[in-house]
Amino acid sequence: MALFRKFKRRRAITIQLIACLAFIFLAIYGWGLPVREAFSYLVALIIGLVIVIGLAFGGGYLLNKLMNRRD
């Protein structure tokens, strides 16, 4: 039974990824979105994620240093 639950969980993620790719394909093919513009949005998304992850990492590092400092 546990194996079925694990497969079911992974199947949901796979279906969500397929739906996302289908929407992007529809935007490019059906609505005439240029591929170059879609890639520019992807690059902007990746840059934004790197910034957010970097800020979170820096904040966690600072909090760790503040909590573990010795007076």
Question: Domain residues of the chain, as ranges?
Answer: 1-33, 34-71
Report how far residue 27's alpha carbon sits from residue 35's, in angstroms, rounded to the nearest whole number: 10
pLDDT averaged per 10 residues, the chain (length 71): 62 86 90 91 96 98 90 58
Asked if residues 46 and 40 have their Cβ atoms less than 8 Å apart, the reply is no
What pLDDT is stored for residue 49 in this prediction?
97
What pLDDT is stored for residue 15 in this prediction?
87
CA–CA–CA angle 36, 40, 44 (5° rounding): 170
